[in-house]
């Protein structure tokens, strides 16, 4: 009796092509249609794990962690300086969902520098900003602005330590003038001292004190005056 042989069933070719197209694991450089290139790890056709991406249009480069196609984890982002023909760091730190999130350092084009916490791509949390003029702000941030408690130090040595809101001095604070040997303590609203007391502070060591010392003002309860002003400030903002 003759033996009948049936052809082996096999999946259609497009199933095999689809499996080959789903990049997983470590791959060599993959080029996109627009010229971008990525070298690193993949998962289900998405950049996932360690990898380096180069954007052709801007010449920017990111090297670090990826998660399901987005920058997520620790990584460094740099841009190409056309004049110097070399890469300059822009940000090194933590990412989440393709945005700066967690602790990181940002290098501004004008030479300024921020070291601290980020949220959703903005400075939020605790951080220190180094400004171009030599001043620094070390304190709390919210939505890219000083907000909360912080210390501003100026190049001439003067400093403000106290409350901030929307990038301006706001709430109880102390402004030190070491160059004059004076201290201004009080309540600020939008960078303006609304209720404050100016007193001598290290006048004997000040490089440029006023010609005459401040007249002594007798207050029965100076702490009580500031406390009352603070209570009025709180009531007006509730």
Spatial separation of the C-alpha atoms in residues 211 and 66, rounded to whole Å: 63
* Residue 188: pLDDT over 90: yes
CATH number, domain 108-210? 2.20.110.10
User: What are 204-236's pLDDT values in tens digits?
Assistant: 776 677 665 666 655 555 556 556 656 655 665
Which residue pairs from 197-202 have beta carbons closer than 8 angstroms and sit at least 24 positions apart in sequence?
197/222, 197/225, 197/226, 201/176, 201/177, 202/178
pTM above 0.85, yes or no: no
pLDDT at 101: 98
Backbone angles phi, psi at 233, to 5 degrees: -65, -45
Of 46, 40, 3, the closest CA to residue 23 belongs to 46
Least confident of 8-17, 106-115, 167-176, 205-214: 8-17
Query: Per CATH, the architecture of 23-98 is what?
Result: Single Sheet (2.20)
Q: Where are the domains of the chain?
A: 23-98, 108-210
């Amino acid at each position: 009796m003759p033996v009948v042989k049936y052809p082996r069933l096999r999946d259609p070719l497009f199933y095999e092509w689809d499996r080959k197209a789903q990049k997983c694991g470590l791959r060599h450089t993959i080029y996109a249609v627009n010229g971008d290139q990525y070298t690193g790890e993949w998962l289900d056709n998405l950049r996932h794990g360690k990898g380096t991406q180069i954007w052709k249009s801007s010449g920017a480069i990111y090297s670090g962690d990826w998660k399901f196609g987005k920058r997520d984890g620790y990584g460094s982002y740099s841009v190409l300086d056309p004049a110097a023909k070399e890469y300059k760091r822009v940000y090194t730190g933590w990412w989440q969902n393709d945005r700066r999130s967690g602790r990181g350092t940002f290098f501004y084009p004008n030479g300024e520098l921020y070291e601290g916490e980020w949220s959703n791509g903005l400075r939020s949390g605790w951080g220190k900003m180094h400004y171009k003029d030599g001043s620094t702000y070390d304190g709390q941030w919210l939505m890219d602005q000083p907000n909360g408690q912080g210390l501003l130090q100026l190049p001439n040595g003067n400093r403000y330590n106290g409350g901030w809101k929307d990038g301006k001095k706001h709430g109880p604070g102390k402004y030190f003038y070491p160059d004059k040997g004076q201290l201004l303590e009080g309540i600020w609203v939008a960078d303006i001292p609304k209720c404050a007391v100016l007193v001598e502070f290290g006048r004997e060591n000040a490089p440029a004190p006023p010609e005459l010392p401040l007249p002594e003002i007798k207050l029965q309860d100076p702490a009580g005056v500031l406390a009352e002003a603070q209570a009025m400030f709180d009531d007006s903002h509730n």
